[in-house]
Amino acid sequence: MALTTEEVLGWSRVGVLLIGMGWAAWMDHKNRRVSNSHWLVWVKPAIFLWCLELLAREADWTIYLTASAVIAYASVAIIGRPTVKDVLSGNRVDVLVSLWYLVSLIGIVVGMSKYSDVNVIDILLGEATGMAALYWTTLSGLAVVFVIDFGWRLRLIHGGADAKALMWVAILIPNWSTMPLIYDYGSEVALQLPPAISLLMWGGLSFILIPFILMVKNIAQGNVKSISDLRMFWHSTVMSLDRVQTSHVWLLTSMIQMPNGEFKPYHKTRAPRRTPSEEKLSQQIEELRSNNITEVWVSYKLPLLVFLFPVILPMALFGDITAIILKLVGI
């Protein structure tokens, strides 16, 4: 059975997503860092596939420029935003980027005027058709990138690589019609999340397994030795003090002075808000070592991209996780 153009583009997107995210997840796992050059490389096939889709759907110039605006907004996370001073100084790159913003904005404004007669409810429910539907779904990519950017700046999305990865997904998979879904639960519910946000929700679902894995690990290794350890064993684990500084973990054990002047180890239940400097961490380790502490409780620095990678296929096959949940509960 021959594949349609939409199916070829859809599976191509899934392939790019698997390879690009898989590579990023590996770097995030090994180094807790994904370079900007990685996203600059992998945004190229994402833009190419988006252009092919718009070409196949015979989009007009306003829709192409609106898609360009989405990419321009996301690019700020990688190349920054030129200031007025930069433009006035005559820097060639800043001038070109500013012109890119201006031309994309023209596309948005003209498109809004051209397709303003569409009912907003129809757009939200996915009942709009034709070029108007394509324009507004393309424009919705700006809202998705804004939500990701806003979440990053508020530290709701903690890592820069995490935010850039989700923005990249928003460009690669701008809407559900670009995915080769086998079971489209989203068509049976009123609303569904955009693919980039849905992937984050799918990744969050996999996070739920972590406490159970840690509980089994700690029990099997004999780390639960007292009742007080029960408040630690579901979110952290025990590690040799000598390994802490070379591992991607937060140190939860520290020394506190009791009322009688005696020092005892204390295990925090939460990781610090800010990662301590190497100097401060070394001081904490030396203090523990001087009190003959050889093993400590630590919390793993879990890289989000490692959790996003394995849920790509479930999302590609079944669509939005919230749509599935709404379907199951009968909403």
Tell me the CA distances in angstroms from 305 to 37, 216, 239, one per residue in order: 17, 24, 24
Q: What is the amino acid identity at position 197?
A: I
| H or E segment to which residue 37 belongs | helix 36-56
**Band of residue 331 on the pLDDT scale cut at 50, 70, 90:** low
Q: What is the pLDDT of residue 4?
A: 85
Judge whether residue 1 has pLDDT over 60.
no
What is the torsional sign of CA 181, 149, 202, 172?
positive
Over the stretch 104-115, which tens digit does the pLDDT of each residue have? 999 999 999 999
* Between 141 and 226, the higher pLDDT residue: 141
Integer Cα distance of 239 and 48 in angstroms: 47
The reported pTM is: 0.84
Bridge partner list, 237? 298
| H or E segment to which residue 64 belongs | helix 61-79
The three-state secondary structure class of 58 is: coil
Q: What is the CA radius of gyration of the chain?
A: 24
How is 157-182 classified by DSSP, letter by letter? S--HHHHHHHHHHHHHS-SGGGS--S
b/e map of 116-130 (b: 16 or more CB within 10 Å)? Answer: eebeeeebeebebee
The three-state secondary structure class of 251 is: strand
Q: What is the amino acid identity at position 280?
A: K
**Band of residue 149 on the pLDDT scale cut at 50, 70, 90:** very high
Long-range contact pairs involving 302-305 (C-beta distance under 8 Å, separation at least 24): 302/207, 302/210, 303/25, 303/28, 303/29, 303/32, 303/159, 304/28, 304/157, 304/158, 304/159, 304/162, 304/165, 304/203, 305/21, 305/24, 305/25, 305/28, 305/29, 305/34, 305/161, 305/162, 305/165
Q: What is the amino acid identity at position 210?
A: I
What's the mean pLDDT in 82-99? 84
- Terminal C-alpha separation, the chain: 35
Integer Cα distance of 21 and 11 in angstroms: 15
**Band of residue 186 on the pLDDT scale cut at 50, 70, 90:** low
Q: What is the amino acid identity at position 133?
A: A
Q: What is the amino acid identity at position 53?
A: E
Judge whether residue 121 has pLDDT over 70.
no
Quickly count: other Cβ atoms within 10 Å of residue 19's Cβ.
12
